[in-house]
Structure 1
Amino acid sequence: MSYSVLEDNELLNRVRLSDAKAFDEIYLRYWRKLYALAFYHLKDSEAAEDIVQEIFTSLWAARERSDIKYLYTYLATATKYAVFHHFAQPSNSTASLEELLSLPVEQPSAESRLLQDEINREINRLPEKCRLVFHYSREEGLGNKNISEKLNISTKAVEKHITRALRQLRVQLKHMVWFL
């Protein structure tokens, strides 16, 4: 039988039954797309490869208990989570976290909503002034000078609030557990 003609849901059903050939087909079908997605955000070939490997390893490990409905959306979202986790590591830059917060999601999925809910929860835990500065900066796109004028604080204070918000988000979100 040629697995390449099977639909994603048929392949997933076979993977749940530990069919390695069905898993191989999923891997062949989506590896390049997921690698391209990870590389686009990371700009690091080795890290992108590692992330994609982790995604597929996790998919296989959780095959019997997975409840995936839309395979590519799920894999792409898992890749974005892994990229987020990569950026949340203390050794990675704040600028990378900023880029991650603006990642587009092609289709709203349960996974992407969970991630967004977690980000929103962490943003809501920020001190009031810090949260307000972060909101003006990230959600309304205001520059530091405009924010400082609007809130009657110095641009240095705006920068400190943004730095604090990003640091707190990075620290808190790195503890998230990525289940596939």
Structure 2
Amino acid sequence: MSYRTLEDNELLDLVKLSDGKAFDEVYQRYWRKLYALAYYHLKDSSEAEDVVQEIFVSLWASRERTNIRSLYAYLATATKYAVFSHFSQPAGKTTSLESLMNSQDVTLSPADSRLLEREIRDEISKLPEKCRLVFRYSREEGLCNKSISEKLNISTKAVEKHITRALRQLRVQLKHFIFFW
């Protein structure tokens, strides 16, 4: 059987059955595109490679329980969120959720994009008030921790804890979309 001639959904069915050769074909088919997407945002070859590696490790680890409709859209979205996760690290750069959602590097169907954005917005709205405020100031307005602490009259450490709590809650609640966090 030639795996190169199989459609993505056929490959996914085989991957679910732990077919290593089908997984290798998925990897060969998409690793360059995902690497380019990660590198475009991260500007670091090693970090981009790490992101792509994590995505494929997670895909293999969750192969039996995933329900993916569009393989490339799923992998590209996972890459975008891995980049988002990288930027959300305290020592890393910050970026807004909007800029990642509206990136032109990945084309999701309008319905999938709206659904994903709605899920994220809903989860952010469920955060405790101060945590939500800190998260929005940090991620949507791009304020640094010191500015947020001054604006809300809380310590910088409290700002960091709120951001960590928000990201942890988002990862848990959105795990069906963001399988690798």
Tell me the TM-score normalised to structure 1 length: 0.69
Task: Give the root-mean-square deviation of aligned CA atoms.
Answer: 3.6
In structure 1, what residue type is equivalent to 2:19? D
Shift of 1:91: 1.6
Worse-matched range after superposition: 27-36 or 96-105: 96-105
SS in 2 for 1:53: helix
Query: Are the structure 2 counterparts of residues 36 and 160 from structure 1 closer, same or farther at C-alpha, using a change threshold of 3 Å?
Result: farther
Query: Are the structure 2 counterparts of residues 26 and 36 from structure 1 closer, same or farther at C-alpha, using a change threshold of 3 Å?
Result: same
Shift of 1:114: 3.5
CA distance in 2, matches of 1:29, 1:99: 30
Which residue does 1:102 correspond to in 2?
99
Shift of 1:103: 1.5
Structure 1, residues 52-87: CA drift from partner, whole Å, max 9, x if none?
A: 000000000111111111100100111111111111
1:38–1:51: 8 Å Cα contact kept in structure 2? yes
Query: Are the structure 2 counterparts of residues 10 and 161 from structure 1 closer, same or farther at C-alpha, using a change threshold of 3 Å?
Result: farther
Which residue does 1:26 correspond to in 2?
26
Shift of 1:98: 2.1
SS in 2 for 1:82: helix
Which residue does 2:167 correspond to in 1?
174
Residue 56 (str. 1) matches residue 56 (str. 2): yes
Which residue does 1:154 correspond to in 2?
none
Q: How many residues align?
A: 158
Q: Which runs of 5+ in 1 are unaligned?
A: 140-156
Query: Are the structure 2 counterparts of residues 88 and 113 from structure 1 closer, same or farther at C-alpha, using a change threshold of 3 Å?
Result: same
CA distance in 1, matches of 2:162, 2:35: 26
Query: Are the structure 2 counterparts of residues 76 and 161 from structure 1 closer, same or farther at C-alpha, using a change threshold of 3 Å?
Result: farther
Which residue does 2:175 correspond to in 1?
none
CA distance in 1, matches of 2:117, 2:6: 26
**Larger Rg belongs to:** 1
In structure 1, what residue type is equivalent to 2:36? A
SS in 1 for 2:53: helix
Shift of 1:179: 1.9
Q: Which runs of 5+ in 2 are unaligned?
A: 142-146, 173-177
Tell me the TM-score normalised to structure 2 length: 0.68
CA distance in 2, matches of 1:44, 1:160: 33
In structure 2, what residue type is equivalent to 1:174? L
Which residue does 1:125 correspond to in 2?
129
Shift of 1:104: 3.8
CA distance in 2, matches of 1:161, 1:102: 24
Query: Are the structure 2 counterparts of residues 111 and 64 from structure 1 closer, same or farther at C-alpha, using a change threshold of 3 Å?
Result: farther
